[in-house]
Amino acid sequence: MKLAVSIDVEEEGLFTNRYDPGDAPVSNVRFLRLLDPVFQDHGIRPALLVSYRVAANESCRELLLELREKWQGEIGAHLHPWNTPPLEKLPYPDPVPSELIPRELLARKLDTLLEAISRMGVSPVSFRMGRFNMGPRMFSVIEEKRLEVDSSIAPMRKTYRGPNHLAAPTDPYFPDPANLCSPGTSRILEVPMTIVPLIAGLGAGLERLESRGLVPTSWVRWFAMNCGSIPVQPAWTTLGRLKAGTLLHRSQGGRVLSMFFHSSELFPEGNPKHPTTPQVKLFLKKLNDFFSWISEKMSAESVTLSELRQDYETREQAK
């Protein structure tokens, strides 16, 4: 099994639903150094997906280049449209779903982000949309750029006023740009978050029940998230469920484990999940224990998102 670890390297404040268009603090970024013993011991080669506020900060840029070199990882792009220039007032509360933002404005915001990252001497090829808010409109924007791999799809999730990813595949695929939950002909590889349905095809089944009016949308969203799936995401669940979800994913034919967390989850003052230093240490221990387990039980190989893209492209050409 291949293991793709990505980190949303971003400003503080989102866990308190503050979508500050100004100079949001980025103090949490320096706490990425806490990952060094774990990543070095297990050969984890992460994708550091960087928001505009981080990319615009010189000290953050220097640290990220240092860590990329040390971990042999990569630096990618993470778009927060609510505070990436140009800033235009829209008639919706933040975070505005990408399908409600004018396409031209999305494109300009992405250009701003990519330009800021380019000041690091980096031309990113990996991408994630803030809040996993990826729909066909935003996908059409990233297809126009030099981006090659996206990791914005969250299977078994349907966001209020946002995208519907209930029936998305749980392993990487080249999507249909008009229906991102179906395989198609895009040149961009989609590497979805590993969120495993308890029964294969459950997401599509829930969609059918909803479309026939048999169950309300709110129930579908709640059931899919809380009862119908296991997220193999370290900040979202326990070590035992991480292992159970990994085994379930493999039993359903999964070959790639895609897991993420936020840089601010390493900063005691930056998130509600780990508000104290001892809780951050417990999170790091959970990461270490999981990486030890998956290496021993499944001989997992850590790869970057762009390496997955190359691997899948080779497979497609060999067909």
CATH number at residue 148: 3.20.20.370
What secondary structure letter does DSSP report for 140? Answer: H
The alpha carbon dihedral of 158, 201, 233, 112 has a sign of negative
- Return d(Cα 214, Cα 11) in angstroms, integer: 41
Give yes or no for a contact between 180 and 171, defined as CB atoms under 8 angstroms apart: no
If you compute the radius of gyration of the chain from its CA atoms, what whole number of angstroms results?
19
User: Global pTM?
Assistant: 0.96
Match 């992405």 to its residue by tokens: 110
- Return d(Cα 79, Cα 131) in angstroms, integer: 9
Element (H, E) at 182: strand 179-183
Picking from 316, 270, 212, the residue whose alpha carbon sits closest to that of residue 24 is: 270
- Give pLDDT tens digits along the chain (319 positions): 999 999 999 999 777 666 767 778 999 999 999 999 999 999 999 999 999 999 999 999 999 999 999 999 999 999 999 999 999 999 998 889 999 999 999 999 999 999 999 999 999 999 999 999 999 999 999 999 989 999 999 999 998 778 999 999 999 999 999 999 999 999 999 999 999 999 999 999 999 999 999 999 999 999 999 999 999 999 999 999 999 999 999 999 999 999 999 999 999 988 888 999 999 999 999 999 999 999 999 999 999 999 999 999 888 777 6
- Return d(Cα 91, Cα 113) in angstroms, integer: 23
SS3 9: strand
- Return d(Cα 36, Cα 17) in angstroms, integer: 29
Element (H, E) at 67: helix 58-71
Picking from 45, 108, 43, 106, the residue whose alpha carbon sits closest to that of residue 75 is: 45
pLDDT computed for residue 16 by the predictor = 67
Range(s) of the domain holding residue 97: 2-318
**Number of structural domains, the chain?**
1
What is the DSSP secondary-structure string of 252-316? TT--EEEEEEEGGGGSTTS-SSS-SHHHHHHHHHHHHHHHHHHHHHH--EEE-HHHHHHHHHHHH
pLDDT computed for residue 228 by the predictor = 98
